[in-house]
Structure 1
Amino acid sequence: MGRPELPLPQLHAFVVLAEELHFGRAATRLGIAQPPLSQQIRRLEDKVGHPLFSREPGRVSLTPAGRELLPAAQQALTRLAEGLTAAREAGSGRAGRLRIGFAASLALTVLPSLLRTFRERFPAVELDIQEMTTTPQLAALRERTIDIGLVREPPADDAELDFGTVLTEPFVAVLSTSHPLAAQRVVRVVQLADCPFVLLPRAVGPPLYDQIADLCVTAGFTPQVAQHAVEWQTVCALVETGLGVSLAPESIRRIRLKGVAFRRIDPDTVRTRVAVAWRKNDSNPLVPGILAALNQAPPVKL
């Protein structure tokens, strides 16, 4: 046998009358006349199967059944009110959950100011921050497991995703401080021709890898990759040990390692693009909020 359904107007009328214990005052609070209030209470009593109020001349009191129902009814109405508020906040983009993917190197530049600005504007939003490289982020966006991505070198065009440029930055040479070229203020790319390289695998970000390879090819050589590492911090750590050199986005210089030197390169004509990515026609009301916060965040100083 199923549970009897208790319509919310009847519960509301019951709680107000239980608090007032006076039909006239309760009707005034509810904004209705006394007869409709009495009808709501009788319908509720019919569903419960027992009187909820003892009615005596000049006196109204709760019956044992009424006293038992009151806490549950109050809790139900409170939870409904909270749920309606949460639903309105989520629907308006002021609350809810937003899943953000980001390339690890952007934790040094774009991410902190973005999160501070967004938290100031939307303190009730729960943020789920996931570190992943560009290619997995694009897949996660298409699979709807993240809502926003902060990526490097996104594709020029995509049928499912939109992109907005956050910043562009030049490349720098990454050298061990003991490397002879570390004594120079500017390193010509051709000077790296005979050096082993430490690079990210092409699979984690093909356009960025190709930019670095093209810098070398333009200088007249193909980089000889001695070691791959998935994160730029690991690349720098391997460079520090003397395993090789690297070319990296300028923001990587924020990785502070005593044994690593970052030097400007010549030619300095290539820029890598950092972009925000999101699904086209996404109905999540939080997405416009994070995009607006990104536009209002303080500019990144490299």
Structure 2
Amino acid sequence: MERPELPLPQLHAFVVLAEELHFGRAAARLGIAQPPLSQQIRRLEDKVGHALFTRAPGRITLTPAGSELLPAARRALTDLADGLAAARAVGSGSAGRLRIGFAGSLALTVLPGLLRTFRHQFPGVHLDIHEMTTAPQIAALHDKTIDIGLLREPPSDETELGFRTVLSEPFVAVLPSTHPLATQRTVQLAQFADSPFVLMPRTVGPSLHDQIIGLCTSAGFTPRIVQHAVEWQTVCALVETGLGVSLAPASIRRIRLKGVAFRRIEPRTARTRVAVAWRENDHNPLVRCLLAAISQDPPNSTPSRSSG
């Protein structure tokens, strides 16, 4: 049996009249005249197929059918109000879900402060955080499995993604604490020409990998890579074993390993860039809210907008 549709204005009129049990007061509360209110109730009764009110001079009461309908009508109106409020909250960016990808090393720099700022401004938003390197973040943005990326050295050939720099930091040399150069506060990059290197594979961060190779090439040598590691903490751990040396962003110094030394390198102009990334055609208001939060409190950065 097909269920009749019950228009919400008629349910609203029914609930108000059931609460007031007086046509005059109910009409005044609804802001309408009594005849339109009576028509709404009659139409609803026609759809139900039974009278909802017993009418007597100067007095009305709910029928058994009306008493049965009243709780369901109230729930329907409450659910609608809740749904409208939730839709407005999501539409305004004050609620919903935001999926963020981040490079693991950024947990040592920009990520904690950014998340604190955003959660303070938008406590109703659920943050879904995923640790991933640069290349997987780019793929996840295109696949729409994340909404925001926090990555190192964004690619220069992207046309569908926007990027904004949030942090620029120098490189440091990572070497075993027993390495002869560990006694120096600053080292020349050319001094590592004969050293084996531990680096991230190019597949997880092509631009950063190419930048490190380019720094070595500018210093007059091609690094001899003996081991790859996907995470910077693993790179440092392998360096600690004496497997080789590495070049890494300066924030890696916050990884505390007794057998690893971090040293400034010359030239000091070599820097790595951290950027926030997003889809240019993304209409999720939460994306714009997070970008605004970054703009309000950029962490040691000079924000600049670039894409493509």
* Alignment-derived partner of residue 203 in structure 2: 203
Q: Whole-Å Cα distance in 2 between the matches of residues 298 and 58 of structure 1? A: 69
Q: Whole-Å Cα distance in 2 between the matches of residues 147 and 215 of structure 1? A: 32
Give secondary structure in 2 for the equivalent of 1:248: strand
Give secondary structure in 1 for the equivalent of 2:111: helix
* Alignment-derived partner of residue 92 in structure 2: 92
CA offset digits 1:263-297 (Å, max 9, x no partner) = 10122221111111111132111121110101112
Instruction: Could you tell me which runs of 5 or more consecutive residues in structure 2 were left unpaired when the two chains were aligned.
Output: 302-308
**Correspondence list, 1:86-125, <5 A:** 86-125=86-125
* Alignment-derived partner of residue 280 in structure 1: 280
Q: 1:198 Cα deviation (Å)?
A: 1.1
Give secondary structure in 2 for the equivalent of 1:155: coil
Q: Whole-Å Cα distance in 2 between the matches of residues 297 and 107 of structure 1? A: 17
CA offset digits 1:185-208 (Å, max 9, x no partner) = 112212222222111111111110
* Alignment-derived partner of residue 24 in structure 2: 24
Q: Whole-Å Cα distance in 1 between the matches of residues 119 and 269 of structure 2? A: 36
* Alignment-derived partner of residue 143 in structure 2: 143
Give secondary structure in 1 for the equivalent of 2:155: coil
Is residue 167–residue 274 contact of structure 1 (8 Å, CA) maintained in 2?
yes
Q: Whole-Å Cα distance in 2 between the matches of residues 143 and 46 of structure 1? A: 51
* Alignment-derived partner of residue 304 in structure 2: none
Give secondary structure in 2 for the equivalent of 1:60: strand
Could you tell me which amino acid in structure 2 is paired with residue 268 of structure 1?
R
Is residue 166–residue 300 contact of structure 2 (8 Å, CA) maintained in 1?
no
Q: 1:17 Cα deviation (Å)?
A: 1.1
Give secondary structure in 2 for the equivalent of 1:283: coil
Say if 2:264 is the partner of 1:264: yes
Q: 1:157 Cα deviation (Å)?
A: 4.0
Q: 1:298 Cα deviation (Å)?
A: 5.2
**Correspondence list, 1:147-186, <5 A:** 147-186=147-186
Query: Under a length normalisation based on structure 1, what TM-score does the superposition of the two structures give?
Result: 0.95
CA offset digits 1:121-143 (Å, max 9, x no partner) = 21111211111111111111112
Could you tell me which amino acid in structure 2 is paired with residue 72 of structure 1?
A
CA offset digits 1:37-88 (Å, max 9, x no partner) = 1111111111111111122222222222111111111111111111111111
Q: 1:2 Cα deviation (Å)?
A: 2.2
Q: Whole-Å Cα distance in 1 between the matches of residues 141 and 50 of structure 2? A: 55
Q: Calculate the aligned-residue CA RMSD, in Å.
A: 1.5
Is residue 99–residue 148 contact of structure 1 (8 Å, CA) maintained in 2?
yes
Question: Identity over the aligned pairs, expressed in percent?
Answer: 77
Q: Whole-Å Cα distance in 1 between the matches of residues 40 and 235 of structure 2? A: 72
* Alignment-derived partner of residue 3 in structure 1: 3
Could you tell me which amino acid in structure 2 is paired with residue 70 of structure 1?
L
Could you tell me which amino acid in structure 2 is paired with residue 9 of structure 1?
P
CA offset digits 1:198-257 (Å, max 9, x no partner) = 111111111101111112222222211121111111111211222221100111111222
Say if 2:36 is the partner of 1:36: yes
Q: Whole-Å Cα distance in 1 between the matches of residues 278 and 298 of structure 2? A: 21
Q: Whole-Å Cα distance in 2 between the matches of residues 155 and 127 of structure 1? A: 25
Q: Whole-Å Cα distance in 2 between the matches of residues 95 and 75 of structure 1? A: 23
Q: Whole-Å Cα distance in 2 between the matches of residues 154 and 3 of structure 1? A: 56
Give secondary structure in 1 for the equivalent of 2:221: coil
Q: Whole-Å Cα distance in 2 between the matches of residues 223 and 283 of structure 1? A: 44
Give secondary structure in 2 for the equivalent of 1:274: strand
